[in-house]
Amino acid sequence: MPTAETDYVFDVKPGRYYGHPNPVRCEWVLAGGNPTAGTDPFQVPAYPAGTAPDPNLDLAGIYDAGLHASANGAIEYRGGALDGKLLVVRYSDGQDIETFDVAADGTLSGRTTGITGLTGFSQPLDVTQDLATGNLYVTELGAGRITLLKPRP
């Protein structure tokens, strides 16, 4: 029986594992496995209870992007009210841009969705910023267009 899955944003570091099995590196368990009968971080309920996550899984570098999110393009915004925030395009559920606060050490927190002006897209895939103007450009597969977003003065 298929189950709904959470999508993730990763703080990728060399030599770490983020949950997609890779037999070449002897990493076999998807996401967090299913180590206990309770609810576990990034668990995959299809595994029987007792399936431990891969020992190289970097739980500290995995962030929840939302159920059915399909997190795609991401940038760190520079300037204005969003300065320093990570912007992540969500293709499926939300069809928006969510933001994360970024600490000096790169850890993420404060996931925010539903921000005025960053919602209502049609299957958005990517986002980029014009550093000179602060403008954002969002590619929308469903609408076959690139949408311009201008920051408020």
Task: Note the pLDDT of residue 2.
Answer: 60
Task: Note the pLDDT of residue 1.
Answer: 43
Q: What is the mean pLDDT of each run of 10 residues along the chain (153 residues)?
A: 74 86 91 94 92 91 85 93 95 92 91 94 97 97 97 84
Contact 70, 43 (CB under 8 A): no
Give the residue carrying structure tokens 């009210």. Answer: 81
* Full-model pTM: 0.83
| CA–CA dist 150, 141 (Å, integer) | 20
Task: Note the pLDDT of residue 153.
Answer: 77
Task: Note the pLDDT of residue 48.
Answer: 96
Contact 145, 137 (CB under 8 A): no
| CA–CA dist 118, 121 (Å, integer) | 8
Task: Note the pLDDT of residue 76.
Answer: 96
Task: Note the pLDDT of residue 142.
Answer: 94
Task: Note the pLDDT of residue 144.
Answer: 97
CA proximity to 125, closest of 97, 152, 102: 97
- Report residue 60: phi and psi, to 5°: -70, -20
CA 127, distance to chain mean position in Å, is 13
Contact 125, 119 (CB under 8 A): no
CA proximity to 71, closest of 79, 62, 80, 83: 62
- Count other Cβ atoms within 10 Å, centred on residue 69: 24
